[in-house]
């Protein structure tokens, strides 16, 4: 190109090029600065922090050692805690999927007025503060004085209160409750893309109600269920308030443990290591499953 | 006995009557069109036959058996929807095979019949495609193959061609008619396109506001419309206000400077209706002036201003010179080409 072109146009091109290439950067500079300032820098500092040393008396020492990571890798307490975190998140996800998908389907078939009302009910958990909602569960199931427990005992259906507080079951149920809207909305969006006549089409070809759900509707809303599952799983695995209130000090998950290390033990480097590990594990799971879903459903949707 | 019978069928949504007193007898192998403006209840009627809606009143019978008692999945009717309603997560072959699968047709036989159905609609070789990767016309063919492969007793088509562009629509019309002729499947087509109804059907059911206006062959409905609605809806119509002169003997029908012996049945102010292509330019007749003339290739379109209001005239392009814009002309027509009805009463 340079051999063909004369010098004059080339000079023009050369002088205008840097500004043309720089314009997109210039325009996105404010957002980029915000992104770097509030996300990248703190994250990098947290990663750095996880390699620092810490002692009861000497505090944090800015050195580069693998002590915290070695501790997490060798102490089975951490393995158990991470396993528990993901087990709870997985169960909560499963519950929201099994209950949320039919819920969205039913909601979608309702007529206008009822649809609005039930949509509000489903979104309800999101409108109430986590603390108030979780304490509500505690009021219902907390030990002998819990409302439901009292009722069931006085009815003679059980003779000891149902264990809920400080149990994994309790955390799973409470998390599933909070996360339900994300699943319902995600499936609902998928249902909007389903042709309203498609069930009639399947019916005219001889399919019964169950076959229609299994063979026609479910495969079409599966991407919605899966993306809802990714949201619910990652929010549940990193949830703090619900496991903190219902799990108490005994039942630790990754988020509550990191919090403890930071604010109670004051072992910031160890807390940072736990937080970074949770972040990396979640990122890998989310990115991995997202790629899988996209590959699996690429043919069908666009 | 007719093949498919609808007897005084009606459908109400709440207090709103959407279809009323709909009676129709369809012969085996017949191609019927439901024709009418938007919202006149065509889809509703079709869906009652398919079983997606239950009639509020009346009976639907297929070969003498009450169809309303049969679950839609067991009626064995083929339905093609306006949106095609293909299963997006299945390949073309899986889509077409679905109905056979539901009927527990053995796998080996299934593949054969799917291939035959796809070949019939000109889609051989598309088995492994997904519907989203196909054009509208191709999707339409898949939907048709899917409905036909189960060898339905009746084929129900709800505006299957309305999403296609004009040229493709014409091609599909010809193809649809050919396939229907070959298979001999009794077919009901819903459309609001009068040309489509005319070119495809054995008989047309013209509907308006949930009621049948006329049932007849395309020629009958066009040549002898039963009501003003039908004549307006099926092609263009000229209406001239006219009077009956009883003082003359015999009585004469007078429209401006055009006159003829009056038919016996009419009196008072009347309306003359006639098709634009039945009017010719003559030496005597209704005085008119050409407002505009439009060349359409095989014919000319003349917009005229007459003594009795505006008129549309269509003349074949036979190579002879035609009147120019602004020219004064006289319009005439044969008596058997016009219909006369009294202006006061409901026509
Ligand atoms: N589920 C329903 N509830 C209430 N009214 C309805 C319902 N379905 C249809 N209608 C009304 O019934 C009338 C006829 O509807 P239908 O769909 O049969 O019309 P159509 O002739 O098919 O029109 P188009 O050519 O626009 O498809 C319309 O006025 C419509 O508003
Ligand atoms: Mg319709």
Considering its fold, how many domains does chain B have in total? 2
The per-residue pLDDT for range B232-286, each reduced to its tens digit, is 888 888 888 888 888 877 888 888 888 888 877 777 788 888 889 999 999 888 9
Question: In the beta sheet, which residues pair with residue B245?
Answer: B252
Q: What angle do CA B54, B56, B59 make, to 5 degrees?
A: 75
Coil, strand or helix: which one is A275?
helix
The DSSP result for A166-223, as a single string, is: TSHHHHHHHHHHHHHHHHHHHHHHHHHTS-TTHHHHHHHTT--HHHIIIIIIHHHHHH
Can you say whether the dihedral through the CA atoms of A17, A23, A26, A29 is positive or negative?
negative
Inter-chain touch B52–A200, beta carbons under 8 Å = yes
CA nearest A222 in B: which residue? B89
Per-residue pLDDT of chain B (347 residues; tens, 9 = 90+): 689 999 999 999 999 999 999 999 999 999 999 999 999 999 999 999 999 999 999 999 999 999 999 999 999 999 999 899 999 999 999 999 999 999 999 999 999 999 999 999 999 999 999 999 999 889 999 999 999 999 999 999 999 988 888 888 888 899 999 999 999 999 999 998 999 999 999 999 999 999 999 999 999 998 888 888 898 888 888 888 888 888 877 888 888 888 888 877 777 788 888 889 999 999 888 999 999 999 988 999 999 999 888 999 999 998 888 899 999 999 999 988 888 877 754 43
Inter-chain touch A204–B103, beta carbons under 8 Å = no
CATH of domain A75-301: 1.10.3720.10
Ligand 1 contact, B191 CB (< 6 A):
no
Pair B34, B190: CB distance under 8 Å: yes
**Domain encompassing residue B197:** 4-232
Q: Which residues surround ligand 2, an ion (CB under 5 A)?
A: B 43
> Which of these three, B200, B217, B232, is where a domain ends?
B232
Q: Determine how many CB atoms are found less than 10 A away from the CB of residue B234.
A: 23
Instruction: Tell me: do B133 and B244 sit in the same domain.
Output: no
- Nearest residue by C-alpha to atom 3 in ligand 1: B13
Instruction: Tell me: do B162 and B310 sit in the same domain.
Output: no
- Complex ipTM value: 0.82
Instruction: Tell me: do B199 and B335 sit in the same domain.
Output: no
Ligand nearest to the CA of B18: 1
Ligand nearest to the CA of B53: 1
Instruction: Tell me: do B125 and B253 sit in the same domain.
Output: no
Touching check for B147 and chain A: CB below 8 Å?
yes
Residue count of chain B: 347
Instruction: Tell me: do B213 and B175 sit in the same domain.
Output: yes
Instruction: Tell me: do B214 and B336 sit in the same domain.
Output: no
Any idea where the domains of chain A sit in the sequence? Answer: 75-301
Question: In the beta sheet, which residues pair with residue B205?
Answer: B34, B215
pLDDT at A16 over 60: no
Which of chain A's residues have a Cβ under 8 Å away from the Cβ of B47? 200
Ligand 1 contact, B231 CB (< 6 A):
no
């Amino acid at each position: 190109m340079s051999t063909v072109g004369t010098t004059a146009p080339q000079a023009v091109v050369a002088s205008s090029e840097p500004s043309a290439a720089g314009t997109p950067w210039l325009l996105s500079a404010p957002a980029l600065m915000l992104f770097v300032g509030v996300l990248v820098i703190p994250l990098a500092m947290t990663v750095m922090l996880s390699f620092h040393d810490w002692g009861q008396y000497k505090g944090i020492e800015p050195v580069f050692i693998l002590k915290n990571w070695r501790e997490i890798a060798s102490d089975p307490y951490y393995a158990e805690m991470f396993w528990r975190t993901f087990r709870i998140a997985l169960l909560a996800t499963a519950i929201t999927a099994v209950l949320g998908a039919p819920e969205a389907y039913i909601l979608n078939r309702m007529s206008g007025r009822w649809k609005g009302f039930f949509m509000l009910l489903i979104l309800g958990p999101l409108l109430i503060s986590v603390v108030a909602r979780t304490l509500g569960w505690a009021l219902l199931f907390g030990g002998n004085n819990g409302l439901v427990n009292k009722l069931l005992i006085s009815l003679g259906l059980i003779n000891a209160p149902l264990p809920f507080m400080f149990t994994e079951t309790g955390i799973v149920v409470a998390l599933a409750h909070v996360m339900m809207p994300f699943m319902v909305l995600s499936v609902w969006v998928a249902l909007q893309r389903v042709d309203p006549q498609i069930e009639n089409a399947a019916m005219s070809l001889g399919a019964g109600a169950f076959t229609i759900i299994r063979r026609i509707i479910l495969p079409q809303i599966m991407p919605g269920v899966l993306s809802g599952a990714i949201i619910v799983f990652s929010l549940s695995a990193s949830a703090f308030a619900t496991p903190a209130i219902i799990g108490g000090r005994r039942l630790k998950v990754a988020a509550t443990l990191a919090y403890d290390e930071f604010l109670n033990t004051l072992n910031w480097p160890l807390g940072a290591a736990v937080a970074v590990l949770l972040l990396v594990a979640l990122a890998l799971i989310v990115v991995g499953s997202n790629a899988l879903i996209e590959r699996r459903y690429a043919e069908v949707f666009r | 006995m007719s093949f498919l019978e609808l007897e005084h069928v009606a459908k109400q949504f709440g207090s709103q009557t959407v279809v009323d007193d709909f009676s129709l007898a369809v012969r085996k192998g017949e191609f019927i069109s439901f024709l009418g403006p938007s919202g006149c209840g065509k889809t509703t009627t079709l869906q009652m036959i398919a079983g997606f809606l239950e009639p509020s009143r009346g009976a639907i019978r297929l070969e003498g058996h009450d169809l309303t008692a049969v679950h839609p999945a067991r009626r064995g009717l083929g339905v093609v929807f306006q949106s095609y309603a293909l299963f997006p997560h299945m390949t073309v072959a899986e889509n077409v095979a679905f109905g056979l699968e539901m009927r527990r047709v053995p796998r080996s036989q299934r593949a054969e019949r799917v291939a035959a159905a796809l070949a019939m609609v000109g889609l051989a070789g598309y088995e492994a495609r997904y519907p989203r990767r196909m054009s509208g016309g191709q999707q339409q063919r898949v939907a048709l193959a899917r409905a036909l492969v189960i060898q339905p007793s009746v084929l129900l088509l709800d505006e299957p061609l309305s999403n296609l562009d004009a040229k493709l629509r014409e091609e599909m019309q010809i193809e649809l008619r050919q396939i229907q002729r070959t298979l001999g499947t009794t077919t009901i087509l819903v459309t609001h396109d009068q040309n489509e109804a005319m070119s495809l059907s054995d008989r047309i059911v013209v509907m308006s506001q949930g009621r049948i206006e006329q049932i007849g062959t395309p020629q009958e409905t066009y040549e002898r419309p039963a009501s003003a609605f039908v004549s307006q809806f099926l092609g263009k119509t000229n209406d001239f206000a006219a009077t009956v002169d009883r003082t003359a003997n015999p009585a004469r029908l007078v429209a401006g400077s055009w006159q003829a012996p009056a038919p016996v049945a009419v009196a008072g102010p009347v309306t003359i209706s006639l098709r634009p292509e039945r009017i010719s330019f003559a030496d005597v007749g209704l005085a008119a002036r050409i407002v505009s003339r439009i060349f359409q290739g095989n014919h000319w379109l003349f917009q005229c201003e007459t003594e009795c209001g505006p008129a549309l005239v269509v003349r074949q392009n036979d190579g002879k010179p035609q009147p120019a814009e602004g020219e004064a002309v006289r319009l005439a027509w044969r008596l058997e080409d016009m219909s006369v009805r009294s202006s006061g009463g409901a026509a």
